[in-house]
C-alpha cells in the first residue's frame, strides 16, 4: 500500500478519535491490511428503537462511516457523502456490530464503496453502497 495512503489512514484514525460521535456510539475504528475501514460498536441499549432492536439509523451511521473512511485516504482533500443506499436485511438485538467498507471505485470527482454490517455471530444484517464527492478542501485545513 502507498505510503501517503497509510499516512492519511493514521491521520484519519486520529481525527475520528476526537469526534463526539465516537464517544456517543462507543465505536472503535481501524483499518485492515487491505485498507478497508472497520468500525466496531458494542451493544448499547440507549441506541435501541421502541421495539428493543438496534435502531436502523445507528446501523446506517456505521455503514456511512465504513464507506467514508475507506474512500477518504485515497484523496488529499476532504470527501462528502452524496448518496447512501442502505438495505436493512435483519434486526439486531443485544449484539456488538461490525461494519466493513470495501473500495469499489475512485475517480476525479466521485468515489464509491460497498459496506456490510455483521453481528458478533457473523450474521449479515445490513449492506449499503455509498457515493462520495471529492471536495477542494485540503485535509490539512482543520
Give 94-116 pLDDT, tens digit per residue: 999 999 999 999 999 999 999 99
Give 38-87 pLDDT, tens digit per residue: 999 999 999 999 998 999 999 999 999 999 999 999 999 999 999 999 99
Strand order in the sheet with 110-119: 28-31, 37-41, 97-106, 110-119, 124-138, 77-88
Sorted by where each starts, the structural domains of the chain and their CATH numbers stand as: 3-138 (3.10.129.10)
The dihedral region occupied by 10, where left means phi > 0, alpha psi between -120 and 50, and beta the remainder, is alpha
Q: Let me know: does 36 contact 101? Beta carbons within 8 Å.
A: yes
- For the whole model, what pTM was predicted? 0.95
SS3 of 76, please?
Answer: coil
Amino acid at each position: 500500500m502507498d505510503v501517503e495512503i497509510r499516512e492519511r489512514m493514521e491521520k484519519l484514525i486520529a481525527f475520528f478519535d476526537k469526534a463526539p460521535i465516537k464517544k456517543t456510539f462507543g465505536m472503535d475504528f481501524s483499518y485492515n491490511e487491505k485498507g478497508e475501514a472497520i468500525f466496531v460498536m458494542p451493544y448499547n441499549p440507549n441506541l435501541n428503537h421502541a421495539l428493543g432492536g438496534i435502531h436502523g439509523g445507528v446501523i446506517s451511521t456505521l455503514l456511512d462511516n465504513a464507506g467514508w473512511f475507506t474512500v477518504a485516504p485515497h484523496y488529499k482533500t476532504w470527501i462528502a457523502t452524496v448518496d447512501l443506499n442502505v438495505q436493512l436485511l435483519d434486526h439486531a438485538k443485544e449484539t456488538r456490530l461490525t461494519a466493513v467498507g470495501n473500495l469499489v471505485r475512485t475517480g476525479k470527482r466521485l468515489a464509491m464503496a460497498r459496506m456490510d454490517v455483521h453481528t458478533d455471530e457473523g450474521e449479515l444484517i445490513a449492506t449499503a453502497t455509498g457515493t462520495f464527492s471529492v471536495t477542494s478542501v485540503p485535509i490539512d485545513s482543520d
